[in-house]
Structure 1
Amino acid sequence: MSDIRRSILWVIFGFSLILIWDQWQIYNGNPATFFPGSSAPKASAQAPADSTVPPASRAVTGADHAVPGAEAPAPAIPRTTHTARTDVLALTFDSEGGALVGASILPHAAETGKALRDGQTPLQLLVQDAQRTYVAQTGLIGAAGTELPTHKTPMRLVSGEPVLAEGQDRLTLRFESAPVNGVVLAKTYTLQRGAYDIAVRHEVSNQGTAAVAPQVYLQLVRDGMKAESDTPFYSTFTGPAIYSDAAKYEKVEFEAIDKNKASFQKTASDGYVAMVQHYFASAWLLGQGIERENFVRKVGGLYAAGMLTPLGTVAPGETKTLESRLFVGPQEEKVLELLAPGLELVKDYGWLTILAKPLYWLLEKINGFVSNWGWSIVLLVVLIKAAFYWLNASAYRSMAKMKAINPRIMEMRERLKGNPQQMQQEMMKMYREEKVNPLGGCFPILIQIPVFIALYWVLLSSVEMRNAPWMGWIVDLSSPDPYYILPLVMALTTVFQTALNPLPPDPLQAKLMWMMPVVFSVMFFFFPAGLVLYWITNNVLTIAQQAYINHSMGVPLKFNLPKFK
């Protein structure tokens, strides 16, 4: 009976490790285990290849793909780019469609693993070059047979300053198209100091003789490349995400788009459409109550996600406007919460968000006092261990009792190895006499596993760790230790902690008890330093508490090493 219980214990332990690994795979774009997506029909905004389809169904296209059947007017306006700069953003606009084709996040350096300093190349989130495509586009689509200005239509910059001046809080750029079937589209981008959200106003003027009923599309188009911070050992989600009050936060895997099996809320009157990657995101935001049709599709080798909203009938001589916002920036939770309902969910904590959010809140509060994210991690783990002290003490007392009687169990197993039934009876008798529960040290620890998995996601997802120093050689908590000192310390503390635990009576289980932590430690050589620091702190506190309880119960400090043959 004891062997069965021991087997159950190690199966649970192994499953816990598998659970962590499975969540990495979910973020890496592999099929989800806990939140499987179902097949769904294609979004109605998707454009079939048939050129006979009405323009309203086929105007939304990729970055360099012309609208099928809709030839843009001759480029009387020469194609060029325009730049604008605030204290946090450096943007590049293309005169073709007035699209945003470049965005650098100035407070974040392009390189990781180094100390953040002045003069470093900033991280470029939006980009359009020979290697990468990640852009924000907008335009109009009309009724069947009516061509209107799109993101391929030449536009002229009619007003705007390139740099936010000293003492200035707002910067505005206005692009206007030439008339297309009598319709002029004007886009006005308004940037504010310290803000990553850009106000985007679309003005549609009907200079023709017939009424039009255009729809405005807002889309993000990008390639399928992962963020550079991803590794084979830990990976976060990259791809489109759609939020609505009805369906909440929905991630759409690139693989699902490839197979035309993307499932998401198609119509809504609230929410946003975003492109998400590790630490950073972009999102189109419309006001509450504005009806929109969400779409996700693939165009060539690129992925497009966006929304389509009707502007209503625009009579000759009339102008109608649509207000929207474009967010391009880091996943700073407090900033995202203020911009739009649910936008903070682009910082994805997985299925333990209910635990992760308060842990992040506490981590941020601690950092407000110590002003060092490394020491904040250490102090947070100390507080968590203190909160679970009595629960852990119960588990460690049970382990200490098991360790005290372990020599007698081993002797009895050797003596009665030819009579398994009697051996089980004697073992159960010994447990009753000594008041030992073989699983007593298991359940208190299992209760804490969700908390530490949630903390793992907090540290992995928080952009604040990027280029954040701790001490000495650790100048970036989001990158692996360049000298592997922390992973070595983590491996040693894991081995030390394992040696304090009683060995299972079964030699095979004893070997498994040692192999699994060692394999787990090897993986941490490639993990961000902040994650390794958190695990080291947890190990050290666990060793200290376990050693103290063993001493208080009179159990000698003895390392239990299995015999490998």
Structure 2
Amino acid sequence: MDNQRNLILAIVLSALVLFGWQAMSDRFFPVAKPPVTKIEGGQEKVVPQPGADPAADGPRAVRARATVLAETPRIVIDTPKLAGTINLKGARIDDLVFKAYGETVAKDSPPIRLLSPAGSPAAYYAGFGWTGDGVDAPGPNTVWTANGTRLTPQTPVTLSWANTRGQRFETVIAVDSDYMFTITQKLANTGAGAVAARPYGLISKDGVSKDPSSWTLHTGPIGVFNDKANYDLSFEKLDEAGRAGIRFASTGGWIGFGDKYWLTALIPDPKAPVDAGFLSTAPKVYQAVDSGRPLIIAPGKAGSVTQRFFAGAKEVNLLDRYEADLKVAQFGRAIDWGWFEVIEKPIFWVLDQVFKLVGNFGVAIIILTFIVRGLMFPIAQKQFRSMAGMRRVQPKMKELQERHKDDKPRLQQELLKLYQEEKVNPLAGCLPILVQIPVFYALYKVLMVTIEMRHQPFVLWIRDLSAPDPLHILNLFGLLDFTPPSFLGIGVLAILLGISMWLQFKLNPQPMDDAQKQIFALMPWIMMFIMAPFAAGLLIYWITSNFLTIAQQAWLYRQYPIPETPASAAVVEAKAAKKK
């Protein structure tokens, strides 16, 4: 009867863990993005990624993007990493794709598009101009004149326009070989009186981010104001604020919109005071705006202001370099590292350095596992010695359990006395696990937030370490023509994880309580279900760590063999009583 009760309790607790995890994981620990490939009929096929394009087609589409692009005069943007055009109508950077990043892992995949012009699907663009009283400033319909036809890192372009009152406006646009534009706005006054004008920059985004914001990953409006990153902003808060907006007064900093991998940001002079904020100009249309102090331009004089505009991928080393070289405050915080940044960035650094040596991030993760296990070797040795001691005293523990099975308080006293006499600690095995939790979570975040891990292959069918294993057992590894739902998508890596955990538990000292034994027996297979939707790279780390642990345990147990102990009279009597 007790065994049946314990079994039922173990099953209930296991079900609570399994389904409770499914309920909370999307909010607190979102799993990896959908697999980039699937196996059907024994063949690997690339899966379309509708969320890969930040400016993908949406319900606010007016005209096809190609039609809109052909309606206005444009200047070509051509850099090692970017391609697109500048719209001379409104002086907008509104057409931009990445040369190095594709929507899928297919060789002929179209590139990721970041920016799209107004009037096209999911418009997303940056514009720069002037506002002021008593001055005819250029507007969104102003057509500027350019001094060239091509913007490259070697050839900046100058856009110019003059009103009928003696003011001439110029916008000089330069770009580096990565993703940073430098915008210098100039105003020359040849009129009869002084003018006051305030320069501004804006980013307009039609629609929310395709990457959902969660407890562990912020997407959407983001900025750094007075040297502090603000992750509290959201599209929902902008909807509530409407045109009144949310304003910030800051010295330097930056403001913009971030997806998981992509970022647009206005970056004013780091030493200048700036008024910045977000607003919603229409349902699901959002703007980030910054403006500097008004310039008072006397007749015959000119003034200028310079700011930068970032439109690119959130590459870790690049953001850190811009933060250091260009004094962009907290620019590395465009990546939501979270609380464990102090561990996550070193882990990323190790992975990146090893990747540069071996050329495969999967191999780099395995080497990282060896490094972590090596650093933890002294702690693990203490753990395994204690576990070997626990295995050695298990016959005595069983004897005490049989002798005092009806007196639980006395059993606990005798067990504590036994631990002291034998100098073993049943809790010693917890320390290495506790130490590894931050490392494991840090790797989870690295796989989730760093674009360097996106679409990185390992071997065979694993084409993206930041996505789940696409080879599922429930469709017979792709021989059956259906794709299991994510919570049932048990892949080869998840099975290996379950097997490695089962082997590891078999080597551990067995719990005294029957219910605990049954829970531990089920736990490897519960974890197999829980971890199946997570990134393949995370499972590779855990599997490698488990097998290293098994090898270390097996070696240590040979060093500390369990002595042969004859069964005590109490145990013999108990077994005889059960047979009767």
For normalisation by structure 1, the TM-score amounts to 0.75
Please say if 1:179 is aligned against 2:169: no
- 1:349–1:517 CA distance, 2 compared to 1 (3 A): farther
The 3-state SS of whatever aligns with 2:374 is helix
Aligned to 2:179: 196
Among 250, 255, 276, the residue aligned to 1:294: 276
- The answer as to whether partners of 2:245 and 2:279 remain within 8 angstroms in 1 is no
> Unaligned 5+ residue runs, structure 1?
1-10, 29-63, 65-77, 557-565
Aligned to 2:114: 125
Among 396, 399, 403, the residue aligned to 2:384: 396
Aligned to 2:375: 387
The 3-state SS of whatever aligns with 2:460 is coil
Aligned to 1:432: 420
- The answer as to whether partners of 1:96 and 1:154 remain within 8 angstroms in 2 is yes
Deviation at 1:85, TM superposition (A): 2.0
C-alpha distance after superposition, 1:266-299 (max 9, x if no partner):
2222222232221222222223211112212223
The 5 Å alignment of 1:275-314 reads 275-300=257-282, 301-314=284-297
C-alpha distance after superposition, 1:367-389 (max 9, x if no partner):
22212222111111111110111
Among 241, 248, 266, the residue aligned to 1:266: 248
The 5 Å alignment of 1:411-560 reads 412-413=400-401, 415-483=403-471, 484-555=491-562
Please say if 1:212 is aligned against 2:195: yes
Residues in 2 aligned to 1:363 and 1:249: alpha-carbon distance in whole angstroms = 28
- 1:235–1:92 CA distance, 2 compared to 1 (3 A): farther
- 1:225–1:100 CA distance, 2 compared to 1 (3 A): same
RMSD: 3.6
C-alpha distance after superposition, 1:95-154 (max 9, x if no partner):
34211222211011111xx26x4x4311112234654233222222224x866334x232
Deviation at 1:410, TM superposition (A): 4.7
Among 193, 204, 224, the residue aligned to 1:221: 204
> Unaligned 5+ residue runs, structure 2?
1-12, 31-59, 61-70, 472-490, 564-580
C-alpha distance after superposition, 1:379-406 (max 9, x if no partner):
1111111011111121222233334434
Please say if 1:243 is aligned against 2:224: yes
- The answer as to whether partners of 1:133 and 1:222 remain within 8 angstroms in 2 is yes
Aligned to 1:110: 103
Aligned to 1:85: 78
Residues in 1 aligned to 2:414 and 2:245: alpha-carbon distance in whole angstroms = 58
- 1:550–1:170 CA distance, 2 compared to 1 (3 A): same
The 3-state SS of whatever aligns with 1:383 is helix
The percentage of counterpart residues that share the same residue type is 28
| Amino acid of the structure 1 residue aligned with 2:91 | G
- The answer as to whether partners of 1:478 and 1:529 remain within 8 angstroms in 2 is yes
- The answer as to whether partners of 2:225 and 2:248 remain within 8 angstroms in 1 is no
The 3-state SS of whatever aligns with 1:451 is helix
- The answer as to whether partners of 1:394 and 1:444 remain within 8 angstroms in 2 is no
- The answer as to whether partners of 1:465 and 1:530 remain within 8 angstroms in 2 is no
Residues in 2 aligned to 1:265 and 1:323: alpha-carbon distance in whole angstroms = 21
Aligned to 2:349: 361
The 3-state SS of whatever aligns with 2:291 is strand
| Amino acid of the structure 2 residue aligned with 1:124 | R
C-alpha distance after superposition, 1:220-246 (max 9, x if no partner):
232454446x799x9732112222454
Aligned to 1:321: 304
For normalisation by structure 2, the TM-score amounts to 0.74
Residues in 2 aligned to 1:344 and 1:492: alpha-carbon distance in whole angstroms = 39
Please say if 1:139 is aligned against 2:129: yes
- The answer as to whether partners of 2:376 and 2:432 remain within 8 angstroms in 1 is no
| Amino acid of the structure 2 residue aligned with 1:508 | A
C-alpha distance after superposition, 1:469-499 (max 9, x if no partner):
2222223223322213323322322332233
| Amino acid of the structure 1 residue aligned with 2:377 | Y
- 1:394–1:284 CA distance, 2 compared to 1 (3 A): same
- The answer as to whether partners of 1:149 and 1:184 remain within 8 angstroms in 2 is no
The 3-state SS of whatever aligns with 2:90 is coil
Residues in 2 aligned to 1:239 and 1:174: alpha-carbon distance in whole angstroms = 32
> Which stretch shifts more, 179-188 or 357-366?
179-188
Residues in 2 aligned to 1:345 and 1:81: alpha-carbon distance in whole angstroms = 34
Aligned to 1:156: 144
- 1:209–1:92 CA distance, 2 compared to 1 (3 A): same
